[in-house]
């Protein structure tokens, strides 16, 4: 019988998180070379880590949804939900009982509707 201890599971979880972080950093470097040129490798890593922290705070836990949150941050600023024209998004992100995916669907739906006006 195979026994996996908690420490081993944590090691696997940590490795998966680091791999996801590396993929996100590479995506920013590929899709937003201006951001990478301006802030450098360390700046991109800090930005991605801030996105991961924000995803945790708002209970956004699927990779595609974290990726969508990162896109919002790149397009509208790291603190888009705290200040500026998208500060209304904070109330949706703080909703308990709503999935991270649902929160992002609402935000993207409102942004899409606003862009058509």
pLDDT in tens, 56-104: 999 999 999 999 999 999 999 999 999 999 999 999 999 999 999 999 9
Question: Residue 55 contacts by C-beta under 8 Å, 6 or more apart in sequence?
Answer: 61, 65, 66, 69, 100
| Separation CA 6–CA 11 (nearest Å) | 9
pLDDT given for residue 88 in this prediction: 95
Structure-token pair, residue 68: 């969508």
Query: What's this model's pTM, rounded to 2 decimal places?
Result: 0.84
């Amino acid at each position: 019988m195979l026994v996996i201890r908690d420490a081993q599971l944590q090691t696997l979880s940590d490795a998966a998180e680091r791999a996801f972080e590396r993929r996100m950093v590479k995506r920013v470097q590929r899709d937003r070379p201006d951001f990478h040129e301006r802030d450098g490798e360390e700046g991109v890593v800090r930005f991605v880590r801030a996105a991961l922290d924000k995803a945790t705070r708002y209970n956004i836990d699927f990779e595609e949804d974290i990726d969508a949150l990162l896109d919002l941050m790149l397009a509208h600023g790291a603190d888009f939900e705290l200040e500026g024209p998208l500060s209304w998004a904070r109330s949706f992100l703080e909703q308990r009982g709503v999935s991270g995916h649902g929160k992002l669907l609402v935000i993207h739906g409102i942004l899409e509707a606003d862009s058509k006006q």
